[in-house]
């Protein structure tokens, strides 16, 4: 379990509005999990912040960005993350 409160946490990559990451973030949030919703463009996940989720800028192709998010989540959860959902995509087909 995350944090002394017993609340589980989840980090989801690729949470831009309308995608599967967005839907998963909302579903986990409704179930009482602490959601770290990520996207390269924070304006695309502002609606999740307004719903009470934590939004974090993340570019999964940038090592510095990955390290920054890792440090943020570790500090915020006392080093424990319960669920990781990788939903980020490049959109190049």
Q: 10 Å Cβ neighbour count for 85?
A: 17
pLDDT tens digits, residue range 38-83? 999 999 999 999 999 999 999 999 999 999 999 999 999 999 999 9
* Host H or E run for residue 24: helix 20-30
Structure tokens that stand for 3 in this block: 């944090």
Strand-pairing partners, residue 35, are 10
Long-range residue pairs from 47-50, CB within 8 A, at least 24 positions apart, any chain: 47/17, 48/15, 48/22
- Residue 80: per-residue pLDDT: 92
d(CA 13, CA 86): 5
Full set of structural domains in the chain with CATH:
9-86 (3.40.50.720)
- For all residues of the chain together, what is the average pLDDT? 92
């Amino acid at each position: 379990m995350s944090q002394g409160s017993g609340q589980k946490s989840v980090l989801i990559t690729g949470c831009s509005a309308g995608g599967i990451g967005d839907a998963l973030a909302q579903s986990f949030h409704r179930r009482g999990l602490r959601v770290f919703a990520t996207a390269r463009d924070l304006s695309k996940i502002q609606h999740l912040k307004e719903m009470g989720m934590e939004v974090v800028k993340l570019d999964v192709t940038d090592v510095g960005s990955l390290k920054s998010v890792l440090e943020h989540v570790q500090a915020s959860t006392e080093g424990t993350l319960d669920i990781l959902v990788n939903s980020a995509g490049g959109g190049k087909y």
